[in-house]
Amino acid sequence: MKLGSLKEGGRDGTLIVVSRDLRRGVRATGIAATLQQALEDWSHMAPRLNALYESLNAGDADGVFDLDPQALAAPMPRAYEFVDGSAYLPHVERVRRARGAEVPESFYTDPLMYQATSAGFYGPRDAVKVVSEDYGIDLEAEIVVITDDVPMAATPEQAAGHIQLVGLVNDVSLRNLALDAMNAAMEDAGGLRPDALYVANMLAPALSGQSHLGALLADFAGLRGIEAATVEAAGASGGVATRQAYLAVASGAVEAALVLGVEKVTDKDSGQVEAALATATDADYEAIQGVTAGAQAALLMRRYLYEHGAPQYALAGFSLVAHENAVANPNAMYRKAISLEQYSKAPMVSDPLNTFDAAPMADGAAALILTRADARQHSQSRPAVEIAGSAVATAAMAAHDLTDPLGLPAWAASVQAALARAAVQTEQIDLFELHDRFSIFAALSLEAAGFAERGGGWLLAKQAEISLNGRIPICTYGGSKARGEPGAATGIYQLAEAASQLQGRAGKNQVSEASVALVQCLGGAGATAATHVLRRVSNGI
């Protein structure tokens, strides 16, 4: 069930039950006036509130009203105690780096926790009051866990039994997320100021209520007046935006282009995010029937296993390699290796696709700058990376219109075109940053790119040929599976990661003597594929 509080009835608000689609509400009249009151007698209140929730969703409740986010207080406007703990290691590491401070060794073994103020929490649309924006506003996504009285020295298992409710604290806005990536890219390029901005984004209109990102982010980043536009091609947006920037620079129309990929998914619940992602399918024939990206991937995976006689856990190797590579990536969501046993016991998302076969959606922003060799301003001691080949291809939008569901012609066509333009053979590729939103995509990408015969992609994983020391390393920083899937920003993450490999800046993830990289991102279940060949040179774009 979903609960909320209205800005009425005093400092603790008025408790309401909220519908599953977050559009309607009903006051919990006769059950509890406030959430705090309900929590005091939760074992008796929870079943009654849940019954009201079911009645509301069934259309049987009385006193139902349309939900106005402006009228909402925080679900729990104030609390007796509020303890803040940091369990997400990459965030703490980034914050410490930004302040020029080291992460204490004790942090990796002892929990970081502090008592915070709890006299009043902001509602979802309340203005955040600060003395000055010059201080830098660092809000962050956090999970809120409301408990009853947890005794001291309780074990984790015992503490779990005291959990009553779970919620989400809102976090930094899309524009602030983008700004960090843009500033980092410009700083890395020696302060080079771009004269064009290409923004890759798919979900902002649906999830953040914001379109026209080109002008918005150019203005916010202090680049007001430059050429700026948004590029959308579902999950291939980052690659397509990069191609547009590449063509602009190569033609001479633009001297330096900033390419940004940004996505913000934590502003909405999982149902709303899933609905937004479904817009990458054919609305008239797929989305309207309830088809999701996960369901499509599961259908492809089942067909693949059947057609090629592959065993049940044939694709496990892709997840194992991704998680192993993410261990040393400070930007990864999941910096922990997994075992085959853990993979085999993972819950199903859509049979035969399990949790470890699907990449977790995540907020994310990444940026890079393209320019001519003679316009480079950073130190020449670091090798330049050129885009030696670039291509985008499309195929049938709806999966049922593909004559061969496992053939995926756009994936193969974009690779062939990019390799031809770069005058590079597959044997010369040192690493492949493929789009592993689902493990079946990894197998099919390897086959479409020519690294394996049809039906043989999974064998590369089984035989450890895709590891950092293998014949064709893939997802060298953890890929979408372990780094996180930032939607339209994926292609920019991949290109930045591949460039760092070619420049020898990958640290523990470094592929030995890497000089040529293949990068591909995908839109939908095969409708769009954007592929780039990157090459290390002394000078170049």
Confidence at 168, pLDDT banded by 50, 70, 90: confident
10 Å CB burial of residue 461 (0-12, 13-18, 19+) is buried
pTM exceeds 0.85:
no
The amino acid at residue 432 is F
Determine which helix (DSSP H) or strand (DSSP E) holds 297, and give its type and residue range.
helix 293-308
Residue from 500, 91, 140, 180 nearest 365 by CA:
180
d(CA 516, CA 386): 10
pLDDT tens per residue, range 225-255 = 999 999 999 999 999 999 999 999 999 999 9
Residue 28: predicted pLDDT: 95
d(CA 341, CA 358): 17
CA dist 21 → 143, 268, 272 (Å)? 20, 11, 8
Domains of the chain: 1-82+117-171 (3.90.850.10), 262-267+382-537 (3.40.47.10)
pLDDT tens per residue, range 341-373 = 999 999 999 999 999 999 999 889 999 999 988
Tell whether the model's pLDDT for residue 340 goes beyond 70.
Answer: yes
Phi and psi at 342, nearest 5°, equal: -65, -40
Average pLDDT over residues 97-105: 69
Residue 105: predicted pLDDT: 76
Tell whether the model's pLDDT for residue 193 goes beyond 80.
Answer: yes
CA-based radius of gyration for the chain: 25
**What percentage of the chain reaches a pLDDT higher than 90?**
71
Name 277's Cβ contacts closer than 8 Å, sequence gap at least 6.
Answer: 203, 292, 293, 361, 487
The long-range contacts involving 383-386, CB below 8 angstroms and separated by at least 24 positions, are 383/502, 383/503, 383/504, 383/536, 383/537, 383/538, 384/536, 384/537, 384/538, 384/539, 384/540, 385/499, 385/502, 385/503, 385/534, 385/535, 385/536, 385/537, 385/540, 386/534, 386/535, 386/537, 386/540, 386/541
Across 96-100, 380-384, 448-452, the highest mean pLDDT is recorded for: 448-452
pLDDT tens per residue, range 272-320 = 889 999 999 999 999 999 999 999 999 999 999 999 999 999 999 999 9
Confidence at 502, pLDDT banded by 50, 70, 90: very high
Residue 140: predicted pLDDT: 60
Average pLDDT over residues 501-508: 96
pLDDT tens per residue, range 196-225 = 999 999 999 998 889 999 999 999 899 999
Residue 484: predicted pLDDT: 93
Residue 541: predicted pLDDT: 44
Residue 61: predicted pLDDT: 94
Residue 120: predicted pLDDT: 78
89-98, 341-350, 454-463: lowest mean pLDDT where?
Answer: 89-98
CA dist 128 → 80, 137, 172 (Å)? 22, 10, 11
